[in-house]
Amino acid sequence: MKDIYILGIESSCDETSFSIVKNGIEEIATVISSQIDIHKDYGGVVPEIASRAHVKNVTFVLEECLLKAHMTMNDIDFIAVCNGPGLIGSLLVGLETAKTLAWLYHKPLIPVHHIAGHIYANNLVKRLSFPLLSLVISGGHTELIYMEKDYSFIKLGGTLDDAVGECYDKVGKVVGIDYPAGPMIDKLAHLGEITYQLPIPLNDNSYNFSFSGLKSAVINLVHNEEQKGNSINKENLCASFQHAVIESLSKKMIKAINDYHIKNLILAGGVSANLGIREKVGDICESMGISYTFPNIKYCTDNAAMIATAGYYAYLAGHVADYSLNGKSSMELE
């Protein structure tokens, strides 16, 4: 069978990225231009600044990716682009680039849901096995997704308010950790002990999550201690916070594993780089006799390799778009 080369494009938030993936499984070249340094001073991503930075970067990142792969656009079979969910101005930059390339070089245009991309980042580590359960934990999403086969998604539950990554970033702000705070909180948590009493969010029998109460509990705790003139032990606070997050995620995950007789589990999204979460999820899967895969650390956060990989399976499932394809800031994974 002829090899298929997919060009993936990701620009939904603050990373401009292009990647070339062969047959949905083998990464040829990936380039990621991150805007973290630009947004750091604002404590989060500023949408208007993000779109402008994508416009500035997009041609250079594409050129670098093709150079790295020793390929030209003529070697590409089709173009996969993330068309949502995400920041609309940012999405449109990647989308217009994809449409222009598809028209100019007569290539099929494949729309890819951002979360499908995060899920398929695992396919670059090990071919997905079905049926599977994906715990999606990112800056914008916290969801349990059940998949019976490739590119078929059933949402079992999700967050009712803040996403888990958003919660890490907001807690980071209160304790003086730069955006994105997740990696540093994870590091400090490993140095501390669980000494602060924090609520386990939405400790019920559903598949849903809630993180705004936990965030408020941390903010109130810090303010109360400050008012009393007490100093906060950052390591212990991070350990206590991370413990509450892990308890909430694992309780819902175990319920879904049991209810759906799951044999394969994957993590997806930026927060799946978290070592505490990986450790706990690995332990749970081993004790339950389940096979599990985590994405490569460098492809936990946004990148185009995951979009190209997902794009291959989206194409096989018949998802081909015309030039009216538009970006969507919110969009269900179906």
Q: Which residues bind ligand KG4 (CB under 6 A)?
A: 13, 138-140, 165, 168-169, 180-183, 186, 269-271, 273-274, 301-302
Q: Nearest-CB residue to Zn ion?
A: 302
Which one of 37-45, 135-143, 215-223, 310-318 is the stretch in contact with Zn ion (CB under 5 A)?
Answer: 135-143
Binding flag, residue 16, Zn ion (CB under 5 A):
no
**Which residue of 138, 240, 274, 309 would you call a contact of Zn ion, by CB under 5 A?**
138
Contacts of 90 (CB under 8 A, 6+ apart): 11, 12, 13, 14, 47, 50, 51, 54
Count of residues touching Zn ion (by CB under 5 A) = 2
Cα(330)–Cα(118) distance, rounded to whole angstroms? 16
Distance in Å, CB of 263 to ligand KG4, minimum:
26
Alpha-carbon gap, residue 35 to 99, rounded angstroms:
24
CB 15 within 8 A of CB 91: no
User: Is residue 142 involved in binding Zn ion (CB under 5 A)?
Assistant: no
- Beta strand 109-113 with 78-84: parallel, antiparallel or unpaired? parallel
Phi, psi of 135 (to 5 degrees): -95, 105
The residue range among 130-138, 180-188, 282-290, 315-323 that interacts with Zn ion, by the rule CB under 5 A, is 130-138
Residue 302 touching Zn ion (CB under 5 A): yes
What is the nearest approach in angstroms of Zn ion to the Cβ of residue 112?
Answer: 12
Residues 6+ away with beta carbon under 8 Å from 1: none
Of 24 and 269, which CB lies nearer to ligand KG4 in the complex structure?
269
What's the closest the beta carbon of residue 258 comes to ligand KG4, in angstroms?
26
Q: How far apart are CA 274 and CA 250, in angstroms?
A: 14
Q: Which residues bind Zn ion (CB under 5 A)?
A: 138, 302
